[in-house]
Amino acid sequence: MSFINERTRNLKQGAIRVMFDRAAGLEQVISMGIGEPDLVTPKSVCDAAKEALDLGKTHYTPNAGYVETRRAVAEYSSVKNLNYDPMKEIIITNGGMGGLSLLMATVLNPGDEVLIQDPQWLNYVAQVNYYGGVCVRVPTKADECFEMQPDVVEALITEKTKILIINTPNNPTGYVIRESTLEKLAEIAIRHNLLVVSDEVYNTLLYDDAGSRSIAEFPGMRERTVVVNSLSKAYAMTGWRIGYVAGPAEIIDRMTKCQENFNSCANAQGQYAAIYALKHPELCEEIRKVFERRREIMLHKLAQIPGMVFKRPNGAFYVFASIQNYGVSDTEFCNRLLDEQRVVCIPGSAFGECGSGHIRMAYTTSDENLATGLDRIAAFCESLDA
């Protein structure tokens, strides 16, 4: 006998966790699988949380988060130019994921269609399905940097389409959507009355000349965009579980009601740490520079591996490379790479059909580990070629 409901029974373990389970117990594994900074949270941010503890900030906070934290988001975060009202248009959540799940709980009715890029980070699909929505994947092409093409998006819109999810810089591809494309996507959203969810959790990790404009900044978009962000990647704060959502007051109000009933609030000390962090953007610049250096190491080493095909990603901390020249599937490639060379990468097909034939490599490990890991990948590719 089982007490588990249908929806939860259908939740599957994602491919990333599957790879980690395979790696557990193996020795001298180098992981390029994990989507989180290996760096620890800056000490000054930790000190702000310690101070909050010493001051007795150990209680429930308002459901939408402390007013000071919401104010810090409004005044110092990347949405500062949009003049969000901290009392009505911002909520502090349990990480970006907590924000996304409250949002899906708030806006989805059964049967609502949600446009999601293919390939794309896995969790949107699980959340949308859980709340009865229908995921419609937007196919993309490697030679277009896996960017959603506006005409392809528009052709998939039906009378049931409610939401377009945008994630830039992107997980898994590491690419940033060009401003000209964002502009066209904004026009489509307005033309078809869509809500746009803009997941910007990587938007402090930009390289080369990548643009940083949010789709919410385009004319007519503020009222139909919900911006999701968090301190996880920007400040190496994944374990703190502090995120935020900025958007139309009606949506934030209902999300706050969900938060009240589901998880009360985000943790109090983390919210104090967030106030300090948001007021010190130089801390995320230091983190960005570390990843910029690692990106160079990875791209330089990858360029020396015959048969490995990739373009220069300009955001986040991922490289999404084609391994199609080696005559094995992406899943076989990753499984054998782990077994034979003890390196974890994630098969691209885990992120959608259009990702197949690719692998996601995260440069979230030390420079030394990266160099060694890439040497091992080179040796593995050579063995496949032989």
In whole angstroms, the minimum distance from the beta carbon of 165 to ligand PLP comes to 10
The residue within the footprint of ligand PLP, chosen from 64, 72, 79, 97 (CB under 6 A), is 97
Comparing CB distances to ligand PLP, the nearer of 173 and 349 is: 173
Binding of residue 95 to ligand PLP (CB under 6 A): yes
In whole angstroms, the minimum distance from the beta carbon of 340 to ligand PLP comes to 28
> Cα separations (Å) of 14 from 17, 123, 349, 351?
6, 8, 11, 9
In whole angstroms, the minimum distance from the beta carbon of 327 to ligand PLP comes to 30
Task: Kindly tell me the burial class for residue 139, based on how many C-beta atoms sit within 10 Å of its own C-beta (0-12, 13-18, 19 or more).
Answer: middle
Encoded tokens for 111: 């049967």
Binding of residue 199 to ligand PLP (CB under 6 A): yes
**Cβ contact 296:95 at 8 Å:** no
| Site for ligand PLP, residues 214 to 233, rule: CB under 6 A | 230, 232
Comparing CB distances to ligand PLP, the nearer of 238 and 366 is: 238
The residue within the footprint of ligand PLP, chosen from 33, 37, 65, 96 (CB under 6 A), is 96
Binding of residue 204 to ligand PLP (CB under 6 A): no
The residue within the footprint of ligand PLP, chosen from 171, 214, 269, 331 (CB under 6 A), is 171
Binding of residue 201 to ligand PLP (CB under 6 A): yes
Binding of residue 121 to ligand PLP (CB under 6 A): yes
Number of residues counted as binding ligand PLP (CB under 6 A): 13
Task: Kindly tell me the burial class for residue 209, based on how many C-beta atoms sit within 10 Å of its own C-beta (0-12, 13-18, 19 or more).
Answer: exposed
Binding of residue 243 to ligand PLP (CB under 6 A): yes
Comparing CB distances to ligand PLP, the nearer of 121 and 218 is: 121
Q: DSSP alpha helices (H): ranges in 93-132?
A: 95-107, 123-130
> Using omega within 30 degrees of 0 as the cis cutoff, is the peptide bond preceding 119 cis?
yes
What distance in Å separates the CA atoms of residue 166 and residue 199, rounded to the nearest whole number? 6
Comparing CB distances to ligand PLP, the nearer of 230 and 259 is: 230
In whole angstroms, the minimum distance from the beta carbon of 55 to ligand PLP comes to 26
> Cα separations (Å) of 128 from 30, 108, 133?
33, 8, 5
In whole angstroms, the minimum distance from the beta carbon of 173 to ligand PLP comes to 11
The residue within the footprint of ligand PLP, chosen from 35, 313, 347, 357 (CB under 6 A), is 35
**Cβ contact 320:173 at 8 Å:** yes
Residue 118: closest CA among 330, 356, 321, 353: 353
Encoded tokens for 251: 């949506």
DSSP category for residue 29: -
Footprint of ligand PLP (CB under 6 A): 35, 95-97, 121, 167, 171, 199, 201, 230, 232, 238, 243
